[in-house]
Amino acid sequence: MSDIKITFREKIKRIILVKEEIKNLIISSINLPTNVNPLSKSFILVERKHPNYPFITQELVDYGKKFARHHSISLPLKGTSYTIISGRIAYGKEIRAYHYKAGYYLPAIEKLNEILAQAESELGATISITQTMPDEHIIKLEEILFGDEHS
C-alpha cells in the first residue's frame, strides 16, 4: 500500500470526495434537529486538541450552532469526554464579531468518530483529515467509504 503515490492535485480531489462522503454518511444516519432549544444536551464543544478539529469546524458547521459567549455555560457530560454547551444562540452581530462559542451536534461528532475509528483500527494510526494527510490514510478511508469501486 505504501508504494502507491498520489499526486498533489489528485490528493486534493480525493480528499474533497472523502469529506463529502463523510458528510453524506452523517446526514443520512442522523436526524438533524431543526428549531432546537439550545438549552438541550445535544450540542457539545469540540476541543482544539481533537485530531479532526479543523475538519469539524470547517466541514461540520451545518451540524453546529453558535452560542453567545457571555450567555452560555459549558458542563461536562457525565461518563464521556464531551463538554455540553448551552445558552442562547448568538445573533448576527455577535457572530460577525466572533463573540460566540460553537457547539456541535453530538450524534454528528459520534458518527464521524465511528467512521474514523474503523480506518484507524485497520491502519493502527490516528487519522486527521487534512490536505497533508498521508496517502495511505486517504486510501484506507476510500476503501471504507466507497468499497473497492474507488481503488
Confidence of residue 77 (pLDDT cuts 50, 70, 90): confident
Task: Evaluate whether residue 106 is within a structural domain.
Answer: yes
pLDDT category of residue 129 using cuts at 50, 70 and 90? very high
Domain range holding 61? 8-150
Report whether pLDDT(30) > 60. yes
In a domain? residue 2: no
Number of independent structural domains in the chain:
1
What's the pLDDT tens digit per position in 117-126? 999 999 999 9
Residue 27 maps to a domain = yes
In a domain, 1, yes or no: no
In a domain, 55, yes or no: yes
Asked if the structure places residue 23 within a domain, the reply is yes
CB atoms within 10 A of CB 39: 10
User: Is 3 part of any domain?
Assistant: no
Q: What pLDDT does 132 receive?
A: 87
Residue 1: band (very low, low, confident or very high) from pLDDT cuts 50, 70, 90: very low
Higher pLDDT, 99 or 30: 99
Residue 77 belongs to some domain of the structure: yes
| pLDDT higher than threshold 90 for residue 112 | yes
- 3-class DSSP string for the chain: CCCCCCCHHHHHHHHHHHHHHHHHHHHHHCCCCCCCCCCCCCEEECCCCCCCHHHHHHHCHHHEEEEEEEEEEEEECCCCCCEEEEEEECCHHHHHCCCEEEEEEHHHHHHHHHHHHHHHHHHCCCCCCCCCCCHHHHHHHHHHHHHHHHC
Confidence class of residue 39 from pLDDT cuts 50, 70 and 90? low
pTM: 0.83
Convert the pLDDT of each residue in 137-150 to its tens digit. Answer: 999 999 999 986 55
